[in-house]
Amino acid sequence: MGKMIDGVWHAGKVTEDSADGSFKRQDSGFRDWITADGSPGPDGQSARPAAPGRYHLYVSYACPWAHRALILRALKGLEDAIAVSVVDPVMLDDGWTFATDRGGTGDPLHGSDFLWQLYARARPGYSGKVTVPVLWDRDTDTIVNNESAEIIRILNTAFDHLGGAPGDYYPADHRAEIDAINADVYDTVNNGVYKAGFATTQQAYEDAVRPLFATLDRLERRLASRDWLVGDAMTEADIRLFTTLVRFDAVYHGHFKCNVRRIQDYPALESLLERMLADHRIAATVHLDHIKTHYYASHRDLNPCGIVPVGPDLPWAHLLPSPRA
């Protein structure tokens, strides 16, 4: 995966953060906010005012963290207000690149070849991981935020006065419950699949995969009598779970050895997945070609030949737009 040290890119393996056998995800390095009028963020963060056309989103269609941001952008109808650039699905020694031969868009703002060049532009001397999503400020020519959990909350409300579509995916009266579910799902499911897949010892793998399926079992029971994880409408808790569920049977089950059960084996979780895919705005953000190509062709220390499997057959594939660009 690689990282930057003092502004210089260094190539590396996907398991490089697993020195003791267990995978450790690094914190995001850019944490400013966008608010309607530029007033401080919810925890006092430095903020900039919302404005159509000022901000640009860099994403990978393959990445579940970037996928969250794409879903909120679509649900809030912000496609015209916030343009998107897509990296190439294959991430090798140069990290995320702006190659265009497999569905990437290139970088129309700066003509960059690699995503790390944007990080160097935003913060000379930067040290850390180079990740998506990246929310870029065109006016100040820098990164506003690269933490997906915060970007989706920015998109949820900051642009409402500029024509953002109705819908509050982090409603005040359910925030405590949403936060509790998010914390559990993040640790054992969203990040749990990576902790299993990138583990380099048997014990670290089992320490990740068992809590993963224990949480999926709990979520299945929770959803057996309700449509949504919290309240009676979709919230960010559902969205954050969805981006893992939609990748699970196609990638995590085999590639990351999360093979105790499939999502297809959980009727309530499968129903949630299909319920969300029935929303054409969400379905349009799912690019299975990028997803499968990224994981299988990029993680050469896990899959040395880079072969991308043809299957599996997915019961919800008919809900995706076809043909895909």
Question: CA–CA separation, 176 vs 37, rounded Å?
Answer: 26
> Is 33 in a helix, a strand, or coil?
strand
Which residue is catalytic, options 55, 58, 61, 63? Answer: 63
Instruction: Based on the residue annotation, tell me whether 305 is a catalytic residue of this protein.
Output: no
| CA pair distance 223, 230, nearest whole angstrom | 10
What single letter denotes the amino acid at residue 69?
A
- Two tokens at 117? 């060049």
Sorted by sequence, the CB contacts under 8 Å of residue 38 that are 6+ apart come out as 47, 48, 49
CA 250, distance to chain mean position in Å, is: 16
- Whether the CA torsion 109, 115, 117, 119 is positive or negative: it is positive
Q: Name 56's bridge partners.
A: 83, 136
Quote helix, strand, coil % in the chain, to nearest 5. Answer: 40, 10, 50
Q: Which amino acid is at 138?
A: R
Q: Which two tokens stand for residue 202?
A: 């048997």
Among the listed residues 58, 194, 205, 252, the single catalytic one is 194
- Map tokens 């015209």 to a residue: 80
Active site residue 194: yes
| Number of Cα atoms under 13 Å in the Cβ half of residue 245 | 28
**Nearest Cα residue to 262 out of 274, 242, 275, 247:** 247
Residue type, 202: Q
Look at residues 137, 95, 149 and name the one whose alpha carbon lies nearest to residue 117.
95
Residue of 259, 255, 238 lying closest to 291 (CA atoms): 255
Strands 83-86, 55-59: pairing kind: parallel
Q: Which residues are catalytic?
A: 63, 194
